[in-house]
Amino acid sequence: MRSGLGLFLLMILAACSRIEPPEQGGELVVAVRKAPAYFDSDGGTVTGFDHDLAELFGQDVGAKVRFVIARDPAELQELVEKGKVHLAMSIAVREHVPGVRFTTPLRHSRQLLVRHEDTPPVERIGDLGGLSIEALVGSPQAELLQKVGGATPAFTLVLKRHSNEFDLFEQVNSRHSEMVASDLDHFRIAQNFYPHLDVAYLFQESVHYAWALPEGSNLFDKAQEFLERIQQNGTLARINDRYFGHLDRVSDGDIASFLVRIDTVLPRFRADFIAAQSATGIDWRLLAALAYQESRWDPLATSPTGVRGMMMLTGDTADRLRVTNRLDPRQSIRAGGRYLADLMDQLPAEIVKPDRLWLALAAYNLGMGHMNGARVIARGLKRDPDSWYEMKRVLPLLAREQYYNRLKSGRGRGGEAVIMVENIRTYYDVLSRKERAHDESELDFRQYVPPSPP
């Protein structure tokens, strides 16, 4: 009798501990990991692949999103199993997980082992004998290595709790760890910060990332329908491009040089970039990324076409912005920031960030005349002229006669502008993680009031 009563009470307590549906609680509770590829925050600003998708789904079901941060993949899955959240994002799909249902996968990535470039590669699984390999507890890589371990010479698998992929990569980069297991997406991002990392071994197996919901959740069908819809209408591709589309542009050597210059050159000009932010409202790190792409932070830079200085201004642009000396870094940085802000202001109001910023950066390279011409081409091809994802496929057409001969602006180097913007996105990503924001709460790329002339 007592045992029956005890079991009944436990069932009541378990039921009470499960979260209310969003239509009753008024909020959608989403579990995420603070992983570099999917979810990040800086100075109170939250961004990332998972963040944007969760916010869209919240709007779809009419609920405000509340994020719960899991410290490792095992904790992420546990939150779903115990019904503590409505769903977990970017979780590795597994078969036969009791109490959990997975949606259609959103992304997939190859699994791999990562080493320092100064250590020998692994040509075959048998070469792992005697090595120590770190992996996150509950990760698909840990599961894969546990299976591999029974068929190879002994290696030591070290499972790390309450960590993320970058913690592991940093340990390899500093030579404190021999090797780590991760996936290709996280490795590609990490190379922008740790260029001495290299692939030790690439597994044939891929990992598929999906959403996970508790078994019996009334949200599952809504989540499945939402994901299928955004895959079909291109929304998912645009969000994917926003966070991953620029990763393959900059070489390892370029990143290594950039990291050195952040420590040795940038400090001389940091105050000038921050002053330009105060004048324009544009994040100083974005302006620094633009300047690095333009001149490698060389205030005396000059191109064969006549553009000069830190921000590589033309003579006409410098005159309009009342720059008396293009080789003066302070004048150049401030003017370059004002010019970019002017370009953002000229774009139609319906273009939102970050597309507004990427399109303005392309216009910085091309000129607004060519940008407007490319937008005309986009409309003719039934592509969205307000989307960077669409426009970076249209801009290279400015070099083809069948397109540019119908434009007042004529031929343009649109492909060069695309590469420039994608490089700046990478440099900005690195600077955003390595350098502190300055009054970030005041930044708004969509609104800009031009400062008074100097």
pLDDT of res. 253: 81
Q: Does one domain contain both 330 and 426? A: yes
292 domain-assigned:
yes
Question: What is the share, in percent, of the chain residues with pLDDT greater than 70?
Answer: 89
Residue 316 sits in a domain whose CATH number is 1.10.530.10
302 and 335 belong to one structural domain: yes
Assess whether 55 and 68 both reside in one domain. Answer: yes
Say yes or no: 358 and 431 in one domain: yes
How would you classify the pairing of strands 64-70 and 156-160?
A: unpaired
Q: Please report which confidence band the pLDDT of residue 347 belongs to, taking 50, 70 and 90 as the band edges.
A: very high
- C-beta separation of 121 from 201 below 8 A: yes
Pair (278, 346) in one structural domain:
yes
Whether 293 and 184 share a structural domain: no
| 407, 304: one domain | yes
Domain boundary pick from 244, 268, 291: 244
In this structure, are residues 97 and 78 in contact, taking their beta carbons and an 8 Å threshold?
A: no
Closest CA to 424 of 312, 336, 292: 292
The answer to whether residue 452 sits within a structural domain is no
If one counts the domains in the chain, the total is 3
Same domain, 267 and 406: yes
Give a yes or no: residue 453 inside a domain.
no
CA distances from 65 to 31, 84, 86, 124 (A): 10, 14, 10, 45
Same domain? For 312 and 429 the reply is: yes
424 and 324 in a single domain? The answer is yes
> Which residues span the domain enclosing 119?
108-207
**Entry pTM:** 0.75
Choosing from 75, 294, 390, 422, which is the catalytic residue? Answer: 294
Last residue of a domain, one of 244, 266, 292: 244
Q: Is the domain of 284 the same as that of 296?
A: yes
Answer yes or no: do 295 and 399 share one domain: yes
- What pLDDT was estimated at residue 42? 56
pLDDT class of 44 with cuts at 50, 70, 90:
low
Q: Is the pLDDT assigned to residue 6 strictly greater than 60?
A: no
Q: How does the average pLDDT of the chain come out, rounded? A: 87
* 301-310: average pLDDT: 88
Q: 27 an active-site residue? A: no
- In this prediction, residue 451 has a pLDDT band, given cuts at 50, 70 and 90, of very low
Q: Is residue 19 part of a domain?
A: yes
Asked if residue 450 has pLDDT above 60, the reply is no
Inside any domain, residue 454:
no
Whether 405 is in a domain gets the answer yes
- Residue 305 is encoded by which pair of tokens? 């076409």
Q: Specify if 190 maps to a domain.
A: yes
Confidence at 279, pLDDT banded by 50, 70, 90: very high
Give me the CATH number covering residue 76.
3.40.190.10
Q: Is residue 185 part of a domain?
A: yes
